[in-house]
């Protein structure tokens, strides 16, 4: 009887240890915060477009095909690093990509895109970071996959690397087949 | 001598406490209405800085924290209630943005497990004492 009660804390401690061990070995990034907007519709917004002094109307951009939404800025070094993959999505996968130029100078952004290539079909200007807050963005670059029903299906925080690029391709395939 | 040392340490502690309680709110952010400003400060103290993560937006100097402080003040100025502001933020950033998570079905274990473990521990100690007598 005496030993039985001594075993209870030991059992609980072992369970907690096992849970911690499991969390340690599974493939996950503990710093990654899941988006609260997954499976929710894209919020409607209007702003200036980076090109030709036109208006950017979100309702005209989403709802027809799978769209990649990429928050970027010229002052963000990782954005430059991931740009080749954003271009790959546009050139090789023929995906529609919307850029959101975050807290940046439009003139610099236009120059930047001229220099390294423009994979975006349209770029919305988010001068004060309000659109980013509506998308739950906390650290650019951030990239979202929006399906053909204007629903946010995936969010990735950080620069796209070759490994992430492959993951994106698989997800896009799945989303297109749904 | 010891009294003097104690006085110096106490003064440093007071000085540090005073300045850390000021937070990172910049003068241009402060609302003219004191009651509204107090509400904004109270909300900001419970909102996590998503970049620093262990600081509230009231203490953080990150640009996003500043944006959120301004957004909260604008919403207060436009007559939004505290609840509406919390809903706006959690809709976009999830419950993670709250430094003190609300009591919900998915946070049930978070709130009750420590109490549960404490009760088990007390029970085991109580039984052990009883059996050893």
This complex has an ipTM of 0.84
Average of per-residue pLDDT across A109-131: 96
Please give the CATH superfamily to which domain B2-102 belongs.
Cytochrome C biogenesis protein (1.10.8.640)
Residue A16 near chain B (CB below 8 Å): no
Cβ separation of A136 and B64 shorter than 8 Å?
A: no
Q: Kindly state the percentage of chain A with pLDDT values over 70.
A: 97
Cβ within 8 Å of residue A83, ≥6 positions away: A72, A116, A117, A119
The DSSP result for B16-76, as a single string, is HHHHHTTTT--GGG--SSHHHHHHHHHHHHTBB-TTTSSSBTTT---HHHHHHHHHHHHHH
CA distance B50 to B74: 20
Choose among B67, B71, B121: nearest Cβ to A9.
B121
CA distance B67 to B50: 12
Cβ separation of A138 and B93 shorter than 8 Å?
A: yes
Break chain A into its structural domains and give their ranges: 32-177
Please count the helices (runs of H) and the strands (runs of E) in chain B: 5, 0
Q: What CATH architecture does domain A32-177 belong to?
A: 3-Layer(aba) Sandwich (3.40)
Whole-model pTM: value is: 0.81
**How far B12 CA sits from the closest chain A CA (Å)?**
35
* pLDDT-derived band at A5, boundaries 50, 70, 90: low
Q: What digits encode the pLDDT tens for the residues B38-53? A: 999 999 999 999 988 7
Break chain B into its structural domains and give their ranges: 2-102, 106-133
């Amino acid at each position: 009887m005496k030993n039985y009660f001594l075993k209870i804390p030991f059992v609980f401690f072992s369970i907690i240890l096992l849970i911690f061990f499991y969390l340690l070995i599974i493939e996950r990034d503990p710093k990654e915060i899941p988006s609260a907007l997954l499976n929710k519709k894209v919020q409607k917004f209007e702003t200036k477009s980076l090109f030709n002094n036109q208006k950017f109307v979100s309702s005209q951009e989403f709802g027809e095909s799978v769209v990649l939404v990429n928050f970027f800025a010229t002052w963000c070094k990782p954005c430059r690093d991931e740009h080749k993959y954003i271009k790959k999505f546009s050139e090789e996968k023929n995906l529609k990509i919307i850029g959101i130029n975050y807290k940046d100078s439009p003139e610099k952004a236009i120059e930047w895109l001229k220099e390294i290539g423009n994979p975006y079909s349209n770029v919305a200007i988010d001068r004060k970071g309000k659109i980013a807050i509506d998308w739950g963005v906390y650290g650019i670059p951030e990239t979202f996959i929006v399906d053909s029903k204007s629903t946010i299906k995936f969010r990735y925080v950080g620069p796209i690397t070759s490994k992430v690029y492959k993951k994106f391709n698989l997800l896009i395939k799945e989303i297109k087949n749904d | 001598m010891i009294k003097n040392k104690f006085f110096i340490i106490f003064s440093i502690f007071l000085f540090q406490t005073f300045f850390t309680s000021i937070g990172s709110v910049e003068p241009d952010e402060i609302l003219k209405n004191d009651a509204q400003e107090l509400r904004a400060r109270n909300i900001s103290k419970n909102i996590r800085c998503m970049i620093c993560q262990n600081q509230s937006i009231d203490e953080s100097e990150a640009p996003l924290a500043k944006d959120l402080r301004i957004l909260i003040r604008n919403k207060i100025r436009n007559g939004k209630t505290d609840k509406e502001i919390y809903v706006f933020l959690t809709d976009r950033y999830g419950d993670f943005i709250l430094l003190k998570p609300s009591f919900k079905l998915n946070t049930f274990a978070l709130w009750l497990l420590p109490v549960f473990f404490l009760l088990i521990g007390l029970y085991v100690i109580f039984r052990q004492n009883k059996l050893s007598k």
